[in-house]
Structure 1
C-alpha cells in the first residue's frame, strides 16, 4: 500500500548575528518537534546551528544584514528526507572542512555537519552562497561530501 508523498517547506530570515543561530534553532524545533523523531531533530538542530554560526562568523550578510534559513521536509514511502539550507552574502573563501588541533577552540563545525548529515554542499550564485545539508530517510546509508560549485 502506498501512502503517497508530501512536501512541506519553511523559510525564515534571521539576523546576521550570533542571536540568529538561536532564533533559527528555535523555529526549526517548533516546526518539526511533532513531525520527526527526537534523535533526528537533535541532529537537525545541531547542523543548523553550525551552518548559521558559520554564516555569521565567516560570511557577509545578505542585504538588510540577514541570513536566510530554509528547510524542506519530503515524505515518501521510503521515509522522511530533510534538507536544510543557509544562504548568506558569501565569503572570500568558501566553506571547507579544516584540520583542527585537539586544543583548538573552533574548526570542527563542518566535521559535525559531515558526520550528522547524509551529504552537504555549497551552491553559489551572483547574490552569495547557500550551504545545504541533506538528511536521508532514517536507516539510509550516508555518502561523502557532495559540493556543487
Structure 2
C-alpha cells in the first residue's frame, strides 16, 4: 500500500494505492478509518466507510485495475462555498465496458443496491473519466 499526503491551506488530502483485490480494499478501509477517526463524528465516519467499501468493491468486481494491478482511494477535506467543509472520497480504477449506474433492485435481488446506498448516504456522487482512469466520487458535508 502506497500513501501520499498533501496539505495546502484549506485543503487536506490523502491518496492510497492498493492491490485490485479484496485484501487491498480491506487495507484501504482500515487506513481510511484510522486517518479520519477524530476528524469526523462516529456516525459520519461509519457512513463514509460504508460508501468507500461499496465503491472499492464495485471497482474490484466490475472494473479493470489501473496499470500495475492496483486501484486508488483518495480523499480530501476542503472548504465549501459558504460555511463548513466537505469531505470528498474518490475511487479510481482502469474502467469497465460500461460506466456505473444505479439499478432497480427488489427485495429478492442479490445485488444492485450499492449505488443506491451511496446516493442515500452521501451529499452527492458522480463519475469522472480521464487518461488516468475512471473515478467514482462521493461528497459528505462536515457541519
Q: TM-score, normalised by structure 1?
A: 0.84
Q: Is the 8 A contact 1:20 1:52 kept in 2?
A: no
1:22 Cα deviation (Å)? 1.1
1:70 Cα deviation (Å)? 0.1
1:120 Cα deviation (Å)? 0.5
Match of residue 10 from structure 1:
14
Structure 1 runs of 4+ off > 6 angstroms? none
Distance in 1 between residues matched to 2:101 and 2:18, nearest whole Å: 23
1:32 Cα deviation (Å)? 0.6
Provide structure 2 residue ranges, at least 5 long, that are not aligned to the other structure. Answer: 1-8
Q: Is the 8 A contact 1:21 1:53 kept in 2?
A: yes
Residue correspondences, number: 134
Match of residue 50 from structure 1:
54
Match of residue 88 from structure 2:
83
Secondary structure of the residue aligned to 1:107 is coil
Report the aligned-residue RMSD.
1.5
Match of residue 126 from structure 2:
121
Match of residue 98 from structure 2:
93
Q: Is the 8 A contact 2:95 2:133 kept in 1?
A: yes
Secondary structure of the residue aligned to 1:74 is strand
1:137 Cα deviation (Å)? 3.1
1:41-71 Cα distance to aligned partner (Å, 9 max, x none): 0010000000000000000000110001100
Q: TM-score, normalised by structure 2?
A: 0.88
Distance in 2 between residues matched to 1:137 and 1:105, nearest whole Å: 33
More strand by proportion, 1 or 2?
2
1:58-85 Cα distance to aligned partner (Å, 9 max, x none): 0000011000110001257722310000
